[in-house]
Amino acid sequence: MLYKALHNEDTNTTEDDIKPITLENVLMANMYNDLGFSVKNKIFILTEAQSTWSVNIIIRMLMYLAETYHNYYMTTNQSLYTSKKVDFPKPELYMIYTGDKGNKKDVISLTEEFLGGQESSVEVKVKVIFDGKKGDIINQFVEFTKIYAEQVKIYGRTRKAVIETIRICRERNILKDYLAEREKEVVNIMMSLFDVEYNLKVYGENIAKEAEEKGRLEGKLEGKLEGGILSMVKICKEFDVSILDTIKKISSEFGLSQTEAEEKVKKIWN
């Protein structure tokens, strides 16, 4: 359904023509992306969903794409070291953005965002989809995330918020068939996300206590506050939490203003 939403002009492609190519914890690289699939081995489509705006998605997409092509040539037994030209499926990169559109661009590029418009040997363009077309799978997904955000405000990050989100979506015919078939799976996935956030918090607190006892963490930052912040930032990066969300977490967990948290996070982010 996602492919049809992106290419409704294609009436010939069937479900059998579409193969999953999502990266999942690739050995050594430890990379994964939300969704990837190929269409008749002619097109690679990589898709990420984001609620927080970050142009770093361009770099991540570049890395996903390189690994995807690497896997493709390995599985199709095509050598890059012979004179024969290899196949090159056309890449399409998408970010489904569920936050406020504002004045954000429909297409973000490596050249414009990172190179000041100067040409280079590499260019990457990511198409941003804000709400899809009324009723299509993308539009329904965006509506699902908005309803979920509303329920979290009421019930917090709890099972009740997830259950209510599913109930409301089914009543409004949003992802109705999918939710009817996989309600338990959706609840488990959403609760797993909560567990990750909880573990981030607990793990960060434990490391902060260790840092307080030792008085110094890795010789870089001293004391309970700085040690805890350093640990939390490292954990957030490990779980691929964006820098903006990391700043919010640091501000909340350590009682800092947004400006103070931003200053401390940026000092150690790289």
Q: How far is CA 255 from the centre of its chain?
A: 27
Please tell me whether residues 117 and 242 are part of one structural domain. no
* Residuewise pLDDT in 10s, the chain (270 residues): 677 778 878 888 888 888 887 765 433 334 455 678 888 888 888 888 888 898 999 998 999 899 889 989 999 999 999 999 999 999 999 998 888 888 999 999 999 999 999 999 999 999 998 887 788 888 888 888 888 889 888 988 788 888 899 899 999 998 888 888 888 877 776 776 555 555 555 555 565 566 555 554 444 444 556 667 777 787 777 667 788 888 887 887 777 888 888 888 888 876
Domain for residue 232, yes or no?
Answer: yes
Please tell me whether residues 232 and 121 are part of one structural domain. no
Q: Are 233 and 220 in contact (CB under 8 A)?
A: no
Domain for residue 236, yes or no?
Answer: yes
Residue 197: name the closest of 256, 227, 156, 169 by CA.
156
Domain for residue 156, yes or no?
Answer: no
Please tell me whether residues 110 and 27 are part of one structural domain. yes
Q: How is residue 189 written in tokens? A: 């996935």
Q: Which residues lie closer than 8 Å to 162 by C-beta, 6 or more apart?
A: 148, 151, 186, 187, 190, 191
The total domain count for the chain is 2
Please tell me whether residues 115 and 212 are part of one structural domain. no
Domain assignment of residue 122, given as a range: 1-130
| In the block, residue with structure tokens 């570049």 | 62
Query: Domain ends where: 86, 114, 130?
Result: 130
Query: Domain ends where: 130, 151, 166?
Result: 130
Please tell me whether residues 104 and 205 are part of one structural domain. no
Please tell me whether residues 126 and 205 are part of one structural domain. no
Angle value at C-alpha 241, between 125 and 160, nearest 5 degrees:
115
Domain for residue 139, yes or no?
Answer: no
Please tell me whether residues 126 and 1 are part of one structural domain. yes
Q: How far apart are CA 180 and CA 162, in angstroms?
A: 14
Please tell me whether residues 13 and 107 are part of one structural domain. yes
Domain for residue 59, yes or no?
Answer: yes
Residue 129: name the closest of 145, 103, 106 by CA.
106
Query: Domain ends where: 130, 154, 185?
Result: 130
Please tell me whether residues 122 and 211 are part of one structural domain. no
Please tell me whether residues 125 and 229 are part of one structural domain. no
Q: Are 261 and 250 in contact (CB under 8 A)?
A: yes
Domain for residue 190, yes or no?
Answer: no
Q: Which amino acid is at 98?
A: T
Please tell me whether residues 1 and 117 are part of one structural domain. yes
